Amino acid sequence: MTRTFSGIKPTGHLTLGNYLGAVRRWVEVDQHRSDALFSVVDLHALTVEHDPARVRRLTRQAATLLLAAGLDPDLCTVFVQSHVDEHTRLSYLLECTATDGELRRMIQYKEKSAEARASGESVRFSLLSYPVLMAADILAYGTDEVPVGEDQTQHVELTRDLAVRFNQRYGHTFAIPKATRPPVAARVMNLQDPTSKMGKSHDSGAGIVYLLDEPDVVRKKVMRAVTDSGSEVAYDRENSPGVANLLEILAACGNADPGELAGAYASYGALKKDTADAVVEVLRPLRERHAVLAADPGQVDAVLKEGAERARERARPVVDAAYRAIGLLPAG
């Protein structure tokens, strides 16, 4: 059976980008047709300045949202990364496989380290080693498929390179994973700045739809989205990024094709209104289920506890095999 792994970082409130680019497919596709594990990757939230209480809160909130979005603990495994030691155990072996040069070439490292320096913060060493821990997350489970948005492509490529290199040096240990992406909305853009990604922690939030935004807030954000100076509705990411973004969001919400949808609209206003309605409808059940689950954190914690046990069972043999393969003496 195909093994699937993916993760989400609790560095901010989850966005429509996270949902359309990744989580929705985990729910609708991956958990049904593979042995799938989904993790709130809290260790990754420590690579930039962080507030401990906030990370803890956002970790539980992210897990609650994943369940509210429809991940079913009877079909898949939902857990918190730091509850399973195998991730950090394997990460060190992969640090001994990766090179300094290839980590410094990572786009997200370049961007995030520049951001940190610009705001006077020091760059944590873990920001550089981040993709190695991510590779460990994936490889520890013998993962075949990694359903992610477009921004994670380079990290998954590095993971493949490390797996191939490790296998060549020390004998076959890891499956070679591949990234899978949604047909549309693999890169949802910021509504106020459609040339940059809708990220969790970008700006004031005017261009970001959060999964827990109230319907009227969602409508306002979408209706105020920056479009272009023209008036014709065309699907052209290069020349009309704002309109293309709305078309992709609308298409993703209704499983339609953004190019075909473009022909159905004579004005930006109508497109915005339908997009706002579609997003509100897609998020409605999620918000409702979140409210129920959030009232019972004990239930979420129980799911996470069982998830960590299942994850550990799957990861331990793979990581133990990697320890043996690389030349470490078994503890006996």
Least distance in Å: CB of 195 to ligand TYM? 12
Catalytic, 197? Answer yes
Residues 141 and 34 sit within 8 Å (Cβ to Cβ) = no
Closest approach of ligand TYM to the CB of residue 122, in Å: 21
Q: Is residue 9 involved in binding ligand TYM (CB under 6 A)?
A: yes
Output the six-digit token pair for 43: 């260790």
- Interacting residues of 21 by C-beta distance below 8 A, sequence separation 6+: 148, 149, 150, 181, 182, 185, 186, 187, 188
Q: Is 113 in the site for ligand TYM (CB under 6 A)?
A: no
Does 213 count as an annotated binding residue? no
> Of the listed 110, 197, 273, 305, which one is catalytic?
197
Position among 7, 194, 241, 307 found at the interface with ligand TYM (CB under 6 A): 7
Tell me, yes or no, if 200 is annotated catalytic.
yes
Name which position in 25, 60, 197, 219 contacts ligand TYM (CB under 6 A). Answer: 197
Q: Among 105, 22, 58, which Cα is nearest to 201's?
A: 58
Q: Which of 178, 200, 272, 273 is catalytic?
A: 200
Query: Do 17 and 188 form a contact (C-beta atoms < 8 A)?
Result: yes
Active-site residue, 112 included? yes
220 assigned ligand-binding residue: no
Closest C-alpha to 71, from 12, 10, 7: 7
SS3 140: coil
Beta-carbon-side half-sphere exposure of residue 124 (alpha carbons within 13 Å): 13
Least separation, in Å, of the C-beta of 108 and ligand TYM? 8
CB of 132 to ligand TYM, least distance (A): 11
Closest CA to 151 of 119, 177, 112, 122: 112
**Residue 278 touching ligand TYM (CB under 6 A):** no
Residue 207 engages ligand TYM in binding (rule: CB under 6 A) = no
17 scored as a contact of ligand TYM (CB under 6 A) = yes
Binding mask 133-162 toward ligand TYM (x if CB under 6 A, else -) reads: -x--xx-------x-xx-xx--x-------
Query: Rule CB under 6 A: which of 284-313 touch ligand TYM?
Result: none
Residue 151 marked as a ligand binder: yes
What are the CA-CA distances from residue 195 to residues 54, 175, 236, 245 (Å)?
Answer: 29, 35, 13, 10
Residue 260's CB is within 10 A of a number of other CB atoms, namely 11
Sequential DSSP letters for 253-318? HHT--HHHHHTT-S-HHHHHHHHHHHHHHHHHHHHHHHHHHHT-HHHHHHHHHHHHHHHHHHHHHH
Give least dist CB 249 to ligand TYM, A. Answer: 10
Name the residue with the smallest CB distance to ligand TYM.
Answer: 21
Give the integer Cα–Cα distance in Å for 219 and 226.
14
Residue stretches of the annotated binding site: 9-11, 17-18, 137, 149-151, 188, 197-201
Which residues are documented as binding site for L-tryptophan?
A: 137
Q: Which spans of this chain sit near ligand TYM (rule: CB under 6 A)?
A: 5-9, 17-18, 21-22, 41, 44, 134, 137-138, 146, 148-149, 151-152, 155, 186-188, 197-198
- Give catalytic residues, as residue numbers: 112, 197, 200
